[in-house]
Amino acid sequence: MDLHFMELPRAVVVGKGVINDLGMFLSKLKTPKRVLIISDGRIKSIYGDKVEGALNSEEIKYFWKIVKVADFATIKEVGKEILELKVDLVIGMGGGTCIDIAKLSAQIHKKSFVSIPTNAAHDGIASPFASIKDSGKPYSIVSSSPLGVLADIEIISSAPERYAKSGCGDLIAKFTAVRDWQLGRDDKGEYYGEYAANLALLGAQIILKNSEKIGMDIVKNVRDIVEALISAGVAAGIAGSSRPCSGAEHLFSHALDVIAPSKGLHGEKCGIGTIIIAKLYDMDWQKIKEALIRIGAPTKLSSISITKEEAVEAILLAPKLRERYTILHKIQLSKAEAEDLLDATGVV
């Protein structure tokens, strides 16, 4: 009998100033005595006092671990501290790097994990998958959904607007991710969950529908973006895989990480990738592109310093990064076809 395991956050708190309630939030979830906070130096310097005050109020002992990259060496280093400090809960506070390190480290050592995003750039906030980059290769590793998510809108709104625009690109990518999931069902007999697929699509549809409003004042609309990103993570938890959220457009983004590292944010590359993959599916890619333009998200590779040659190479590399079946696996584009695709969509 086919089955898959679903894991979802127990509690999600979204609101202004909720970082001040962190201690109470944790106590209601688990009553931890010792916590390890995975963050970066900038976040600790700005919000460290608030976090420490909130934890002190509940007499929770805390330790900070400052990280820079999400690789296996860092995971090993964090794991050593989890054991030596005898913590019973791990907090990931920051962007995708901090959250992914905390998520996977907690999973490996069977500790609870709480997610505190400080920007709205990605959908890993509440998903049970960690993205790790090591030796020039991307890895998507099954971990655990966070026990809880605490999203302070004041903190997230203070991040550069580019991050929220990147989050919109990651959300709009669900249009092609779900099509790839359906393709896997039809061609390979893969499990397909209609509910999880529609939940992921809901966030993409909201971004598409409200693109003009978001573009006019993204800070005012950041709460909707955050909630949609959390919902996407929940969709992955229900599906038991990242299928509803990640398809060929994500493989394109990961391939660019290999070929042109440190160029563009993940969601920015996924947004451009969605335009390209939507064209392959004969979807209304122009509508997706126009929505991203209204939002102010990149639709030209040159705007994130990626050349046409790098993008062509990424399209050809993408299906080799994972065995997961997508339209790029089915079609197997030639170099000339990849060039024509980029030209036809006007992303170069």
Tens of pLDDT, residues 159-171: 999 999 999 999 9
Secondary structure of residue 148 in the 3-state scheme:
strand
Tens digit of pLDDT for each residue in 93-141? 999 999 999 999 999 999 999 999 999 999 999 999 898 888 777 788 8
pLDDT tens-digit profile of 200-231?
Answer: 999 999 999 999 999 999 999 999 999 999 99
Residue 1 has pLDDT above 80, yes or no: no
Per-residue pLDDT, 226: 97
Lowest mean pLDDT among 194-198, 247-251, 319-323, 324-328: 319-323
Q: What is this structure's pTM?
A: 0.94
Whether the predicted pLDDT of 30 surpasses 90: no
Greatest pairwise CA separation for the chain in angstroms: 63
Mean pLDDT score of the chain, rounded to an integer?
A: 95
| Contact between residue 257 and residue 318 where contact means Cβ atoms under 8 Å apart | no
What is the structure's pLDDT at 269? 98
| Cβ proximity of 242 and 236 under 8 Å | yes
* 31 has pLDDT over 90: no
Q: What is the pLDDT of residue 8?
A: 87
List own/partner pairs for 182-190 with CB under 8 A and 24 or more apart. Answer: 183/325, 183/326, 183/327, 183/330, 184/243, 184/324, 184/325, 184/326, 187/325, 187/330, 188/325, 190/243, 190/325
Q: Which residues pair with 117 in a beta bridge?
A: 94
**Model confidence over 309-320: pLDDT tens digits?**
999 999 999 999
Rg over alpha carbons for the chain, rounded to the nearest Å, is 20
pLDDT tens by residue, 169-187: 999 999 999 999 999 999 9
As to burial, measured by CB atoms within 10 angstroms (0-12 exposed, 13-18 middle, 19+ buried), residue 261 is exposed
Q: What's the first-to-final CA gap in the chain, in angstroms?
A: 47
pLDDT at res. 138: 78
- In eight-state DSSP terms, residue 189 is -
Task: Please compute the mean of the pLDDT values over residues 248-274 and round it to a whole number.
Answer: 96
**Mean predicted confidence (pLDDT) in 4-29:** 93
Split at pLDDT 50, 70, 90, the class of 2 is: low
Q: List pLDDT tens digits, range 78-93.
A: 999 999 999 999 999 9
Query: Class for domain 161-345, per CATH?
Result: mainly alpha
CA 49 – CA 70 distance, rounded (Å): 25
Return the sign of the alpha-carbon dihedral for residues 101, 104, 106, 109.
Answer: negative
Separation of alpha carbons 82 and 98, rounded Å:
15
Map out the domains of the chain as residue ranges. Answer: 11-157, 161-345
Average pLDDT (255-264) is 94
- Provide the CATH number for the domain formed by 11-157 in this structure: 3.40.50.1970
Please write the tens of the pLDDT for every residue from 292-301.
Answer: 999 999 999 9
